[in-house]
Structure 1
Amino acid sequence: MIFTLTGAHPSRRLPKNYTLIYEIVQASGIGRHLTPAQIYAKALKRRPGIGLATVYRGLERLRALGLVSEVYAQRSGAATYEPTGPRHAHFRCSRCGAIEDVDYAIPARTINALAARHRFAIESERVTFEGRCAACGNSKL
């Protein structure tokens, strides 16, 4: 069964399970980074027959459509997801793994200059800072 997504993207048509995944990520809000396992656990409560592979496929489709953003922390090897929203960066704590949103965006003129200089067609940007969060900042390794 296919449903039309309402809200910011009314023309998007998605399978029922993908719509559920979108609703879960959207309800979490920007700045709340959910892992596929967390999304799966929430989805199971609403649709007991859903599979983990469906969640992964749904997240990939939603990301490709620009409905969710994937935050990949290189050292942890894990991806998290949040609703697509205003441009921002992320900070990942190298000690505890916490991910926080940072009010930061590369100016469009900088991106355009970089694209022109290297003849790139830049489609998106992801900025992740790494270091120690305030809670881990003074503790020893």
Structure 2
Amino acid sequence: MTTTDWQERLRAQGYRLTPQRELVLAAVERLGHGTPDEILHAVREQSEAVNISTIYRTLELLESLGLVRHTHLSDRAPTYHSTTGPDHVHLKCRSCGEVTEADPELFAPMLESLTVEHGFTVDLGHLTVFGLCGTCGVRD
């Protein structure tokens, strides 16, 4: 999605393009995955005039417009990421904290089984699999 695309999406829904919204979306893009506090820190590198409540309100709006998504990579605040990239499943290492993005096709058999056996459709944007990365999982 280009800058023009998300600007048009905001305007089409009756929202103004504000500097704060632009800063928040740019910070999410730059971070890849970021909590509201991390996004605030990134935004404040550009402007000290933004507070945490503005970050939360803006993220809520951007998510309702489909420009960002959130997932839970910890038991704390949600983590936001842009929707400009392909859908992915998050792999979170419990040891080092590394977050890797995996192709949802790897999970296709499981997802199909959940649909067939339970009538359940998985929301991949929220799916996080916890475990150990290749480095931390190596045992001596």
Letter in 2 for 1:12: L
Distance between the aligned counterparts of 2:123 and 2:10, measured in 1? 20
If each structure's helix is expressed as a fraction of its own residues, which one has the higher value?
2
Residue in structure 2 matched with residue 131 of structure 1 by the alignment? 131
- Structure 1: gaps spanning 5 or more residues: none
Deviations 1:41-60 (A, max 9, x none): 12112221110111111112
The alpha-carbon distance between structure 1 residues 8 and 55, as it changes in their structure 2 partners (threshold 3 A), is closer
**Which of 4, 22, 26 in structure 1 is aligned with 2:25?**
22
Distance between the aligned counterparts of 2:40 and 2:139, measured in 1? 34
Letter in 1 for 2:76: G
The alpha-carbon distance between structure 1 residues 127 and 11, as it changes in their structure 2 partners (threshold 3 A), is closer
Q: TM-score, normalised by structure 1?
A: 0.71
- Structure 2: gaps spanning 5 or more residues: none
Distance between the aligned counterparts of 1:39 and 1:73, measured in 2? 15
More off after superposition, 122-131 vs 89-98: 122-131
If each structure's strand is expressed as a fraction of its own residues, which one has the higher value?
1
Tell me the SS of whatever aligns to 1:34: coil
Tell me the SS of whatever aligns to 1:92: strand
Residue in structure 2 matched with residue 82 of structure 1 by the alignment? 81
Question: What's the Cα RMSD here?
Answer: 2.9
Q: TM-score, normalised by structure 2?
A: 0.72
TM-superposed CA distance for 1:89, in Å, is: 0.7
2:47 paired with 1:47? yes
Indicate the percent of aligned positions where both proteins have the same amino acid.
Answer: 29
Distance between the aligned counterparts of 1:11 and 1:70, measured in 2? 19
TM-superposed CA distance for 1:71, in Å, is: 2.1
Deviations 1:2-47 (A, max 9, x none): xxx623562313451122211221244xxx2122222111211222
How do residues 1-141 of structure 1 correspond to structure 2 at under 5 angstroms? 6-8=4-6, 10-13=8-11, 14-15=15-16, 16=18, 17-28=20-31, 32-74=32-74, 76-84=75-83, 85-105=85-105, 114=115, 118=119, 124-125=123-124, 126-138=126-138
Tell me the SS of whatever aligns to 2:5: coil
Distance between the aligned counterparts of 2:66 and 2:9, measured in 1? 13
Deviations 1:81-116 (A, max 9, x none): 111131111101122222110112465xx66x839x
